[in-house]
Amino acid sequence: MLEIKVVGLGGIGCALLPPLARYLHYAGIDCRLTLVDGDAFEQRNLPRQAFRAAGNKARVKAEEVAQEFPGLSVRAIGEFVTPGNVADLIRSGDVVFLGVDNHRTRKVVSDHCERLADALLISGGNEWTDGNVQVYCRREGRDLSAPLTRFHPEIAVPGDGSPADASCDYAVAAGAPQLLFMNLAVASAMLNAFYAWQQGGIRYGEVYLDILAGRSQPVERRGFSE
């Protein structure tokens, strides 16, 4: 059974989850979907995040998915990913969709995946009208593409806060809002990467997106084990 973890249910996660769940359900993929987020939905999330009830994001979304797709195995973990719990949350063989807004969590997850035998980590992030998706694929203890940190010093040595003290909402409050369409574009690129992986070959390790330019640019990130 394929274990799929969606970490972060903010703008990107909320855009990614409905088509992912629909695809998994109707494709009949033997899987379990785990939603991970320690944050709570609030009314101020509504411009970019659809939810039917207030409460912990992972639990609210898990309930929604379970109602819409009763045959799909889904569970919620209402926690932020930290160095202390990442080993319990992400295990060898997992597919991880990482839609967080901070480099600190990206580093925690990427570093952990480097210690696993098999993992597919698809991480998306965005600014206002541009963004990127990184794909870290590890198989039988070897890197098939680069970890998130290898060419990104801002992730390797994160200068931002943890999700417990800095979320998308914090950015909105600080005057750095995000655009729903950009979240959607990144989510779509993450799902495209998953499908490419599922089909047996993904030829890029990172893809850049710019919705104003109407362009995307895939870049190969050759994997190698050190």
Partner 1 sequence: MSEETRQAGTARSVARTEATVRVLYGIHALEVDVAGRTVAEIRHALTQPLNISPRAVPVVDGAVVAEGHLLQAGQQLEFVRLAGEKGRPQ
Binding residues for partner 1, per CB under 8 A?
101-103, 106, 123-128, 130-132, 134, 148, 151-155, 160, 168, 170-171, 176-178, 186, 208-210, 212-213, 215-217, 219-222
Give how far the C-alpha of residue 42 lies from the chain's centroid of Cα atoms, to the nearest Å. Answer: 21
Instruction: Name the amino acid, one letter, at 38.
Output: G
Separation between Cα atoms, residue 120 and residue 98, nearest integer Å: 10
Q: What is the nearest approach in angstroms of partner 1 to the Cβ of residue 103? A: 7
- Say what angle helices 11-27 and 57-68 make with each other, to 10 degrees: 30
Q: What is the nearest approach in angstroms of partner 1 to the Cβ of residue 65? A: 25
- Say what angle helices 11-27 and 180-198 make with each other, to 10 degrees: 40
Q: Pick the closer one to partner 1 by CB: 76 or 190.
A: 190
Q: Pick the closer one to partner 1 by CB: 86 or 211.
A: 211
Contacts of 170-178 with C-beta under 8 Å, sequence gap 24+, read 171/101, 172/44, 177/128, 178/11, 178/48, 178/126, 178/128
Q: What is the nearest approach in angstroms of partner 1 to the Cβ of residue 131? A: 4
Separation between Cα atoms, residue 140 and residue 143, nearest integer Å: 9
Q: What is the nearest approach in angstroms of partner 1 to the Cβ of residue 94? A: 21
Q: Pick the closer one to partner 1 by CB: 56 or 126.
A: 126
Separation between Cα atoms, residue 215 and residue 209, nearest integer Å: 6
Q: What is the nearest approach in angstroms of partner 1 to the Cβ of residue 200? A: 22
Q: What is the nearest approach in angstroms of partner 1 to the Cβ of residue 226? A: 12
Q: Is 111 helix (H, G, I), strand (E, B) or coil?
A: helix
Separation between Cα atoms, residue 160 and residue 214, nearest integer Å: 29
Q: Pick the closer one to partner 1 by CB: 63 or 130.
A: 130
Q: Pick the closer one to partner 1 by CB: 16 or 21.
A: 16
Q: Pick the closer one to partner 1 by CB: 59 or 103.
A: 103
At 106, list the tokens: 């990206």
